[in-house]
Structure 1
Amino acid sequence: MALPEDAANNGKEGEPVGDNGFIKQSESSPCASGSPAAMASLQKHFQGKDALNYANILRSRNKFADALALYERILEEDGAKVEAYIGKGICLQMQNMGRLAFDSFAEAVRIEPHNACALTHCGILYKDEGRLVDAAESYQKALNADPSYKPAAEYLAIVLTDLGTSLKLSGNVQEGIQKYYEALNIDPHYAPAYYNLGVVYSEMMKYDTALSCYEKAALERPMYAEAYCNMGVIHKNRGDLELAIACYERCLAVSPNFEIAKNNMAIALTDLGTKVKLEGDISQGVAYYKKALYYNWHYADAMYNLGVAYGEMLKFDMAIVCYELAFHFNPHCAEACNNLGVIYKDRDNLDKAVECYQATFSNRGRFEFSSNL
């Protein structure tokens, strides 16, 4: 029951950017976007480094068109201004003009081949086009130029993880695993790489290793709902119901509407209810069944087992309601029909009992026939 690898969304390119071209908090600008005449008047007051600084300020405040005009004016005066090419590329990128943006970044790289920022932005545009290998090469060049340049490392880890998933889905599992480990070698804190390793190891039935990977993913990203959910699946399949429930609770605390986790929680609680009931604590079993139905109110197994518990407690009216609902939610639940028949027979309602027994036989027949298809 491992979840898909694309659960984590890594897209970052569409958010406001800072002076180095990477994400920062959006700010409100004290300057209204000006007309061309107004911009020309403002530009006269800025020369050289002042003009570049002002363009960067405009860009940081999402005034991309105005910043672009100023970068272009700067480049008319000095065609070798690498920072202006990078700023121009970012403005074009933020206005969805990817090809022109790439040309601007490429020109910056031509002038300054070891500029980590320009190389990283080239990688971002390659990734947007689905050219993951080219993106990885561009990020790697940026890191070779400046090993301390954190954005290049972060983006390289993302692309290597995407490459790993692509390889795994195409059947090259070991190569995919290698890419995940390469991503973690670049960025040891990149949670989706740990998570995807957990998925692979779960599919390989190496559950201890998978649990370790999921735990590391959750440690690096405490809001990683999918990691908690998958940990719960492993614990549940091992019979560690309390641990499974604790994982699902953590998952749902992070993502209350996570339907897969809610369904998994209902299953684990139902199993735990049956376990404690068989151990002699029928009241606690009923409590667990009710809690299971809180998470998935149409889970037929929980409703059926609640009916069994009420029957054992001689609360037959409540048992009837539960059996009828179980059969409603799962028309193949022949046991619910049979148990209803027993209750009606004991109450001398033979017509109703016969009707239930006939339904029991009919549903068992349909189930057995369908299972042979």
Structure 2
Amino acid sequence: MSDHDDEDFESLYQRGLRFRQFGETAAAIDAFRSALQINPDHVESLVALGNLLEEDWKLDEARSQYSRAVEVDPEALLPRQYLGRLESSTGHFEEAVKALKTYQELGGEDVETLLTLAEAASKVNDCKTVLKATKAVLDLDDSAYKAWELRGICYAHTEKYNEACICLNMAIDLHPSSIEALNAVGDVCYQNENYHCSSEFFESSLKVRSEQPDIMFKYATSLWFLDRWSEAVPLFEKYTSLRPEDARGWNNLGVVLREKGDVKRSVECYRKALELDPNLEVVKSNMETAMNMQVLT
């Protein structure tokens, strides 16, 4: 640039910063666009323009500015940080992982950004990246419950149940209402047929958020295995009202009703289950048992 162009660029850049400071988004965008016409490789202007466009919900344009800044300076942290967080917020998790892994490799240590990396990596089942990112977070702040939670879920997915329980219990200690952690510990217990444990964690989760049909089903099933049929009945009733198309729910409701002694209603539930899935063999067997009980009574 000539000295004159340099002066014009600096004036426009500073104008953009001032407009942004005072909340004049449209004017700030115009100023940064004009500055970039003079110096299209100015990373700070590209990032600032990207921020403003993102705030203005012009996400594709914002992505373009961040990507351009990454091209201009591949080792700059801010462009990758903003690009990765934008990709994650719009559901482009693989792209988010790509941008934020490099951010971490370049020495980026912003806790929220590293957590975004871990969450995006979790979405694409990249456990190695989850563990690396969460370790970095916990080295910076060992009270970050989300990092413990993500580590625990990752360990559970890879069937490292001891490590999973340690991490998830840490998350729950730090944040007792963490639904994800409560459900993940419950799932570990459920998969290992420890139904007393699973029932406790699923119950706690449903106290935080009652409308969780999948958790309700597992909680009720856990109670069933513990012979707590009377407690399981209203849960399966609620589940079948939320998921009336699921034959498993009707079958399980039929079983607990039968165990409770309400054979007539259990038969009705089995019939409903067979209407939904005529090939479900367990329902046929349960229906036969219930019909025989009716004959005996």
Q: One fold, TM greater than 0.5?
A: yes
Aligned twin of 1:182: 132
> Which stretch has the larger CA shift, 72-81 or 297-306?
72-81
Q: Which residue of 2 aligns with 1:303?
A: 254
Residue number in structure 2 paired with 1:86? 47
1:244 Cα shift? Answer: 2.0
Decide which structure has the larger Cα Rg and report it.
1
Q: Distance in 1 between matches of 2:154 and 2:284?
A: 35
Higher relative contact order (CA 8 A, sep 6+): 1
Match status 1:208 vs 2:162: yes
Percent identical: 13
1:287 matched to 2:230: yes
- TM-aligned CA deviation for residue 236 of structure 1: 3.7
Encode CA deviations 1:45-93: one digit per residue, 9 max, x unaligned. x98856522233336xxx3x33211234566799997654432232345
TM-score normalised by structure 1 residue count: 0.55
Q: Is the 8 A contact 1:184 1:190 kept in 2?
A: no
Are residues 1:254 and 2:195 paired?
no
| CA distance in structure 2 between the partners assigned to 1:202 and 1:258 by the alignment | 20
Provide the residue aligned with 1:322 in structure 2: 266
Amino acid paired to 1:227: A
Q: Which amino acid aligns with 2:170?
A: K
8 Å contact from structure 1 (residues 86, 104) kept in 2: yes
The verdict on how the C-alpha distance between 1:138 and 1:161 changes in structure 2, with shifts beyond 3 A counting, is same
CA distance in 2, matches of 1:197, 1:336: 43
Structure 1: stretches of 5+ with no match in the other structure:
1-45, 169-175, 275-284, 311-317, 347-373
Secondary structure, counterpart of 1:130 in structure 2? helix
Question: Number of residue pairs matched?
Answer: 260
Say if 1:344 and 1:187 are closer, same or farther in 2 by CA, change over 3 A. same
Separation (CA, whole Å) in 1 of partners of 2:238 and 2:214:
10
Q: Which runs of 5+ in 2 are unaligned?
A: 1-10, 241-248
Cα displacement (A) at 1:295: 3.9
Contact 1:161 1:183 in 2 (8 A): no
Within a 5 Å distance, the mapping from 1:20-99 to structure 2 comes to 49=14, 52-58=17-23, 63=25, 65-73=26-34, 83-93=44-54, 94-95=57-58, 96-97=60-61, 98-99=63-64
Amino acid at match of 1:99: S
In 2, Cα distance between equivalents of 1:334 and 1:199: 36
Task: Compute the RMSD of aligned alpha carbons.
Answer: 3.9
Kindly provide the amino acid, as one letter, of the partner of residue 116 in structure 2.
I
Q: Does 1:230 align with 2:184?
A: yes
Residue 123 of structure 1 and its aligned partner are, at CA, apart by 4.7
**CA spacing shift, 1:201–1:269, aligned 2, 3 Å:** same
For 2:41 and 2:156, locate their aligned partners in 1 and report how far apart those are by CA, in whole Å. 53
Cα separation, partners in 2 of 1:82 and 1:337, compared to 1, 3 Å = closer
Distance verdict in 2 for CA 1:254–1:79, change over 3 Å: same
User: For residues 267 and 217 of structure 1, what CA distance do their matches in structure 2 show?
Assistant: 25
